Amino acid sequence: MIIEGLSIGDELLDGRVVDSNAARIDHALRALGHRTGRRVVVPDDPAQIATAVAAAAARCELCVVTGGLGPTSDDVTAQAVAQAAGVPLLEDAHALEHLTTRLAGRPLTPARRKQAAIPQGAQALLNPVGTAPGFLVRIGGCQVLVLPGVPREVAGFLERDLARLVPPADQATTVRLRFALVGESALAAAVESHALEGVTVGYRAQGPETEISFRGPSDAVRAAAHLARAAFPDACLPDGLNLAQATLAAARAAGATLATAESCTGGLVGGALTAIPGSSDVVFGGIIAYSNTVKSAVLGVPSATLEAHGAVSEPVARAMAQGARQATTATAAVAITGIAGPGGGTADKPVGTVWFAWRGPDFDDTERHQLAGDRDQVRRYAVAHALDGLRRRMTRP
């Protein structure tokens, strides 16, 4: 099915409002096996809306329109859709009755009453949350589904109506895999060098994590997913979890408890873990040891070690991890110390130098990474390396 989206509102074009409805609608359609092929944003202008609706109706089989169905003067969508359909607006009795009930004794002003007017021949969709009805109208070979723009109202319509109004797509298999610290180009090189007959491949990079999706015939999709997993077996995260979730799950499965000691990341590792509901059974605590004083006084890093090697060094990272483990009684700990920039780098330790240490019952490991990018990128990738190092050590055979 060819599907387009049409979002209406001046506020969407001048940056006042982010179009959260678009993502919500696309997600709901994807659950039915469909994908929005085009999305257009139009101001609150009847002529432009009518033109956009007519153009979409000529191209697609379903057009989902949001916005402009309320009682105010800039709510002109119903009028514009009627113009595109070449029919008049008519007051719908069921919509009017529903509107009156929703008003609960408040006066039915002309502005409020206009919400009950929909294009002739349209099917009214009573609002499960608010007052303005949506409607479904056919224009040529296209079904035009028109919904209000209030996000919670859109959510109510989608939950109640979408599955019965939009038939599911022909059966196809979709598999999504998420990889830690593997880029799109590396995944593409591993997968697309093979023939993937009938399989659509999509990529979505989210900083240190990359999602790859395969859609098509079941056997072909499974084969493509196997190629991706086989290319990066240790980097593939389980069950669609993000890196922090996968780390927490691995620690829980191993019966481990976790602690963090962070310098340049300032608590971001602990924040990523504790953002997950239920993490308190695994995460014991964390220490932000930004200064050398705290590194020594709280984590027990010897002053001599700091003086001899500097705060950004392997011995200091190792001592920080051990100190966090002892201070919290957690079974495993990760420590980070680095130079996030923009200043502070030297010839031996340029900006982006980060030392990591992981300490547990059966591991005592360190790594140095030279991370690229600005301060925010260095910190985000440092968090990812710290979490991924924990996850891998929790899942060692």
The proportion of the chain whose per-residue pLDDT surpasses 90, expressed as a percent, equals 83
- Please check the confidence at residue 194 and state whether its pLDDT lies above 90: no
CB contact at 8 A, 349 and 338: no
Co-location of 189 and 155 in the same domain: no
pLDDT in tens, 40-99: 999 999 999 999 999 999 999 999 999 999 888 888 999 999 999 999 999 999 999 999
What phi, psi does 306 have (nearest 5°)? -65, -40
Contact 70, 47 (CB under 8 A): no
Q: Are residues 254 and 141 in the same domain?
A: no
Residues 369, 346 share a domain: yes
129 with 153: CB under 8 angstroms? Answer: yes
Number of domain units in the chain = 3
310 by DSSP, 3-state: which?
coil
Both 27 and 86 in one domain: the answer is: yes
Q: Rounded mean pLDDT of the chain? A: 94
Nearest to 45 by CA among 82, 85, 8, 15: 8
Residue 230: CATH number of its domain: 3.30.70.2860
- One-character DSSP codes across 73-140: TT--HHHHHHHHHT--EEE-HHHHHHHHHHHTTS---HHHHGGGEEETTPEEE--SSSSS-EEEEEET
Do 163 and 32 touch, CB atoms closer than 8 A?
yes
1, two tokens: 């099915």
Q: Does the structure show a pLDDT above 70 at 171? A: no
Same domain for 130 and 198? no
Note whether 248 and 386 are same-domain residues: yes
Which of 165, 182, 202 terminates a domain? The answer is 165
Distance CA 236, CA 244 (A): 13
Mark whether 95 and 210 lie in a shared domain.
Answer: no
Going by C-alpha positions, the residue among 290, 336, 297 that lies closest to residue 316 is: 336
Q: Examine the domain organization and report whether 208 and 275 are in the same domain.
A: no
Indicate which CATH number applies to the domain containing 348.
3.90.950.20
Q: What secondary structure does DSSP assign to 233-289, as a single string?
A: TTTEEGGG--HHHHHHHHHHHHT--EEEEESTTTTHHHHHHHTSTTGGGTEEEEEE-
Do 256 and 343 lie in one domain? The reply is yes
308 and 379 housed in the same domain: yes
CATH of residue 128 = 3.40.980.10
348-389 pLDDT, tens digit per residue, is 999 999 999 999 999 999 999 999 999 999 999 999 999 999
Estimate to the nearest angstrom the gap between the alpha carbon of 205 and the chain centroid.
10
Residue 75 sits in which domain range? 3-165
> What is the model's pLDDT at position 25?
96
Starting from the edge strand earliest in sequence, which strands make up the sheet with 142-147, in order?
A: 36-42, 3-8, 62-66, 142-147, 134-139, 123-125
Looking at 146, 165, 184, the residue that finishes a domain is 165
On whether the CB atoms of residues 9 and 67 are closer than 8 A, the answer is yes
- Asked if 260 and 320 count as a contact pair (C-beta separation under 8 A), the reply is no
C-alpha torsion 233→235→240→244, nearest 10: 150
User: Encoding tokens for residue 238?
Assistant: 């389980």
Which has the closest alpha carbon to 145: 57, 220, 233?
A: 57
Choosing from 106, 137, 165, the residue where a domain stops is: 165
Q: What is the pLDDT of residue 217?
A: 84
328 and 230 fall within a common domain: no
Residues 265-283 have pLDDT tens digits of 999 999 999 999 999 999 9
336 with 361: CB under 8 angstroms?
no
Q: Tokens representing 335? A: 């420590």
Residue 216: which pLDDT band, with cuts at 50, 70 and 90?
Answer: confident
Same domain, 134 and 211: no
CA distance 288 to 268: 9
Q: Could you tell me the maximum CA-CA distance found in the chain, to the nearest angstrom? A: 85
